[in-house]
Amino acid sequence: MEILTWTYLLVGLSFALYIGIAIWTRAGSTKEFYIAGGGVSPLANGMATAADWMSAASFISMAGLISFAGYDGSVYLMGWTGGYVLLALLLAPYLRKFGKFTVPDFVGDRYYSHKARVVAVICALFISFTYVAGQMRGVGIVFSRYLEVPIEWGVVIGMCIVFFYAVLGGMKGITYTQVAQYCVLIFAYMVPAIFISIQLTGNPIPQLGLGGTLEDGVPLLQKLDGILADLGFAEYTSGRKSITDIFMITLALMVGTAGLPHVIVRFFTVPKVKDARLSAGYALAFIAILYTTAPAVAAFGIFNTIQSTSEKKIEDLPAWVQTWQKTNLITIEDKNKDGRVQYSANQESNELSIDKDIMVLASPEIAELPNWVVGLVAAGAMAAALSTAAGLLLVISTSVSRDLVKTFKPEISEKKELRIARLAAAGAVILAGYFGVNPPGFVAEVVAFAFGLAAASFFPVIILGIFSTRTNKEGAITGMIAGLVFTLIYISYFKFISPDQNNPSYWWWGISPEGIGTIGMLINFSCCYLISKLTPPPPGHVQDLIQEIRIPKGAGQAHDH
């Protein structure tokens, strides 16, 4: 069968499965809409969390980014994986014990203030919209290539699918849909990685294939370093970023992870605190499968791309190049009119431009794998993008219905609250679609900004809210606003207002926009500490609540047997 037929078949079957699950698990109450009724098993929640976590950025864009950045791309692996460990160990059990559905819910109660809740809602909306823009962009790219429609139409189709099962099923529908999506995306990621690893190194385990040798006896990474050096690029295993910037980006991604509202809310869907810890462990194992494979996928992809295109006559280029040219994600310009493709680090002489976001999607075609593998990767990419988009849309809808409307209108009926939540999700889908059509950057870059905003706004107030009885509402509100505004202004200036100055020589302290969330976080912590010191402590009942969250009942008491 043709690639298009396989794609329609596999994507169609996966969509039918997701929609079927959404109808079967339709939310009938606000508790089911917000936290799936609180009865999800740790294993199912672990899979759903992993799918929620591994977005289009992880599936589509991360390996592509590492392909082009080499060693420098490792910040995404370290930051996102380390951040999940931080979230699982440091925050998830305590937030689950607190028993609130959303981060603004926690902030509002812990800091005994409607104002603090509203500020947290604004932060959650900023983070979620920035993040969901990346997902919708990923959806658009997949549809554009495989259904042969413009990216804009691809985004619209993706919007319709997400709208259906996120708005209908709420967290209950999303949870069980995400279990299915995890199975689809991990299978779709591993199958081509295993095939290509066997092709290049004879080793079926991609992680070992990365350090393996080619048919000519030369180690893969050594050969790749030599090829890139000959073309004028930095060696694949060397880095150009400063240690300071690598540290700042990694830390921003780590603590941003721990403040991501759509991941935190997953720990409220299990029955007990013990189950929250267990599901966090399962999720980490499921996430590690993809994250340890991504460096191999990146190296295989860039190696095969250069081998199949460099110095080739334009008419002799493989079919995959012409296919992706139709999406405008690959462009060829014969600058020296010699009829050959010059792939070069010098932009003035470089004739082949490849969008980072296509590397994973194009890898099966570049390696000339069977057509069904190409269709499978399309289904996997859709699963990754849609699962996270759905989780984010739920955060947006609950932030509006529960944390805004219900706070100021507590007498609202459950039926009306559910209707408002669904309307908010619908509005969010439309806005997210706009950002998907007009993205502020490539997928992983846009997502990195969301992590920076989460680091600068949520992480300090959540940590201090759990571990400090002295932090009060004045400190939390000032900290969230200061951290978010500083980070937002810095990113906006260097990315949109003055993009010509988007290079290390102009950056403050040599920190890139992707890493500035770390400074935003430090500003937030400082404001929280100083303002809390200068203003009255929290009331006694709040201090007792904090102690209760952190210390199990009966701890330190002697028992007679």
pLDDT in tens, 29-66: 555 555 555 567 888 888 888 887 777 778 887 888 88
User: Looking at the chain, how many residues does it have?
Assistant: 561
State the Cα–Cα distance between residues 483 and 462, nearest whole angstrom. Answer: 14
pLDDT classification of 26: cutoffs 50, 70, 90: low
Structure tokens at 46: 């672990």
State the Cα–Cα distance between residues 544 and 547, nearest whole angstrom. Answer: 5
* 431, burial (CB in 10 Å: exposed 0-12, middle 13-18, buried 19+): middle
State the Cα–Cα distance between residues 119 and 552, nearest whole angstrom. Answer: 30
Letter for the amino acid at 233?
A: F
* Cβ atoms within 10 Å, residue 160: 10
Which range among 168-172, 346-350, 408-412, 469-473 has the greatest average pLDDT?
Answer: 469-473
Residue 410 has pLDDT above 50, yes or no: yes
State the Cα–Cα distance between residues 159 and 145, nearest whole angstrom. Answer: 17
Q: Which of 70, 153, 110 has the alpha carbon at shortest distance from 549? A: 110
Q: What is the pLDDT of residue 554?
A: 44
Q: What is the pLDDT of residue 499?
A: 67
pLDDT classification of 533: cutoffs 50, 70, 90: very high
Residue 28 has pLDDT above 60, yes or no: no
Q: What is the pLDDT of residue 148?
A: 74
Residue 213 has pLDDT above 50, yes or no: yes
Enumerate the domain spans of the chain: 3-549
Q: What is the pLDDT of residue 167?
A: 64
pLDDT of 138-167, one tens digit each? Answer: 777 777 777 777 778 888 887 877 777 666
Helix segments in 342-472, DSSP class H: 359-366, 371-400, 406-408, 414-437, 443-467
Terminal alpha carbon distance of the chain: 72
Q: What is the pLDDT of residue 383?
A: 79
**Mean pLDDT score, 389-406:** 75
Residue 25 has pLDDT above 70, yes or no: no
Query: What is the pLDDT of the chain when averaged over all its residues?
Result: 80
For residue 426, give every residue at least 6 positions away whose Cβ sits within 8 Å of its Cβ, in sequence order, or none. Answer: 163, 167
Q: Which of 236, 233, 234 has the alpha carbon at shortest distance from 349? A: 233
State the Cα–Cα distance between residues 106 and 466, nearest whole angstrom. Answer: 10
CATH superfamily of 3-549: Sodium/glucose cotransporter (1.20.1730.10)
Q: What is the pLDDT of residue 559?
A: 45
For residue 262, give every residue at least 6 positions away whose Cβ sits within 8 Å of its Cβ, in sequence order, or none. Answer: 52, 128, 131, 388, 391, 392, 394, 395
Q: What is the pLDDT of residue 69?
A: 81
Helix (H, G, I), strand (E, B) or coil at 530: helix
* Cβ atoms within 10 Å, residue 338: 11
Residue 497 has pLDDT above 90, yes or no: no
Treating both helix axes as pointing N-terminal to C-terminal, what angle do 243-258 and 74-86 enclose, rounded to 10 degrees?
40
Q: What is the pLDDT of residue 561?
A: 43
225 within 8 A of 357, measured Cβ to Cβ: no
Residue 332 phi, psi dihedral angles, 5° rounding? -125, 130
